[in-house]
Structure 1
Amino acid sequence: MKTLQQQLGQYGLYHRSKRNVLTHFFGIPLIVFAALCLLARVEIPLGSFNVDGAQLFVLASVVYYFMLSFSLGLIMGIIFTLLLVAAQPIAAMPFTSWLTIGVGVFVFGWVLQFIGHYFEGKKPAFVDDLVGLIIGPLYVTAELLFLMGFYKNLEQQVNEISGPTKA
């Protein structure tokens, strides 16, 4: 398994334009939120209780993030849990409303992503490595933390792999 620095650095190779990163600050959370809205309607019986697909997605994602970094895993766990809580009322809506909102937000998030990659002049990272789909939310969280002055050592290590962000 690649290290946190390798994962973020590899993802960063596809995200050097500030405009691209900015579109990802909005697009990726929207995509994750929409996926949770849609997955929350998938009921999975586990013994005497049920879990939904969104809960399993959050659990699996956060376990992976913890494997990369305890502190970032904790932050991602909080963020994903808040998104999961926000998704539950939408999942409880009538079928047409749930599907319209879920798919609409999902598509809008991807439109933002592709606009960003138009500015970047590069394809999305997941095209070459599907792990990019799970690293994306971690990457935008790390980038936001870097902008806030946190994780300076990690930022330097990531930039050594991917290079500095460009205007």
Structure 2
Amino acid sequence: MRRDLARRPDGSTTDYDHVVAPAAVTVLAVDTGGLVAVTRQWIYVHAEPQWRLPAGRIDADESPAAAARRELREETGISADELVGLGTINCADSLTNHRDHAFLATGLTAGEPEREPGEVDLRVHWVPFDQLVGMVVDGQLPHAGSAFAVLLAKTSGLVE
């Protein structure tokens, strides 16, 4: 948490409180049958289990694409032949600098997950893409990066 003395465009100043957070990645992993790997786990800051796509922070020494491959493998055990950047979303502009880089992963190969201790309750489910779009619209997929990736893939025609 930081408090900065911020200068506005008109030259006036104000105290501005905000959270400094590392960037993250979210991965929309779609198999050849149009099923998407979706996780469900307890999310501490929301005090409830939530649906979301595989996601996590970008370590200081890695690129967003490398982090996306790592997070996908760690949480689901999946490796992807193809990884395409979908875009980046600012998650809460007035509160934090946090940005989420979304990727589409295809050419999937199953493997064993390498979960961290805090992910012991994480479960992977395979959901049809159209059902996942409905989950976003119905508010069942509240994670900003996940909703962004799903809607961008749908509206751009990258996933049918």
Per the shorter chain, which TM-score range?
under 0.3
Q: Which structure is higher in helix share?
A: 1
Q: Which structure is higher in strand share?
A: 2
Larger relative contact order (Cα-Cα within 8 Å, sequence gap ≥ 6): 1
- With normalisation by structure 1, the TM-score equals 0.22
